[in-house]
Amino acid sequence: MGKLWGSERGWEIVDDTMQIRGGRGYETADSLKSRGEKPEPIERFFRDARINTIFEGSSEIMRLFIAREMLDSHLKLGAAAFNTKLPLKDRALVFLRAARHYAKWYPTRFLPFSDDRDDINLHPDLEQSMRDVRRLSRKLARHTLYAMLRYGPKLEREQLVLGRLVDIGAEIFALGCAASYAQSKVEDAFSPRQRWIA
């Protein structure tokens, strides 16, 4: 998820930089230098950054991998209920087992206090961000289930729907990472070792 989000956002930033720099961004550093301009190598950066969404797992393939992980537990639990080749009795049993599971699972994806953690002493400025992460994660989980119900096992082939769910998940992940990193910096600043160094 870090690779997908990092390379996609990184590319957007480089693309915006090129747009902001305009023609000077498009020119090579050598060409800029020969005209007496500051030789900022935006064009080189643009070319180099583009490969990140292709190698070490292209963004499309990363989305497929992540979506597979996202759906796996749902598919294991309920996919057989949609399998018309199985006897009706077996499908009904799978359906009942899944219904029992989701009767407990679903309310916890609605209730705001279901995933509150009292044991983490968050900095007050970060509390809202982490509340947002939890709220959006619950919403994403609900919408993933709705997509499962709508498409059944065929959802695996709905790449645009899956890609959208994965991209939303990656944004929530990035928000959570940023808040966690900020929290770790707060904790470092107040740790005994840090005080000793200071």
Ligand X SMILES: Cc1cc2nc3c(=O)[nH]c(=O)nc-3n(C[C@H](O)[C@H](O)[C@H](O)COP(=O)(O)OP(=O)(O)OC[C@H]3O[C@@H](n4cnc5c(N)ncnc54)[C@H](O)[C@@H]3O)c2cc1C
CB-side neighbour CA atoms (13 Å) of 155:
26
> CB-wise, 62 or 80, nearer to ligand X?
62
Question: Helix, strand or coil for residue 85?
Answer: coil
Q: Is the CB of 115 or the CB of 158 nearer to ligand X?
A: 158
Nearest distance from C-beta of residue 154 to ligand X, angstroms:
16
Instruction: Between 132 and 156, name the residue whose CB sits nearer to ligand X.
Output: 156
Our CB check for ligand X shows the closer of 55 and 146 to be: 55
Closest by CA to 29, choosing from 12, 13, 46, 15, is 46
**Least CB distance from residue 159 to ligand X, whole Å?**
6
CB neighbours of 86 closer than 8 A, spacing ≥ 6?
Answer: 80, 94
DSSP 3-state assignment of 114? helix
Burial bucket for residue 67 (CB in 10 Å: 0-12, 13-18, 19+): buried
Give Cα 14 distance to the centre of its chain: 20
Rounded to a whole number of angstroms, the minimum distance from the CB of residue 23 to ligand X is 27
Which two tokens mark 47? 């070319």
Q: Which residue is nearest to ligand X (CB)?
A: 58
Interface positions with ligand X (CB under 6 A): 51, 54-55, 58, 60-61
Active-site residue set: 56
Q: Which residue type does 165 have?
A: L
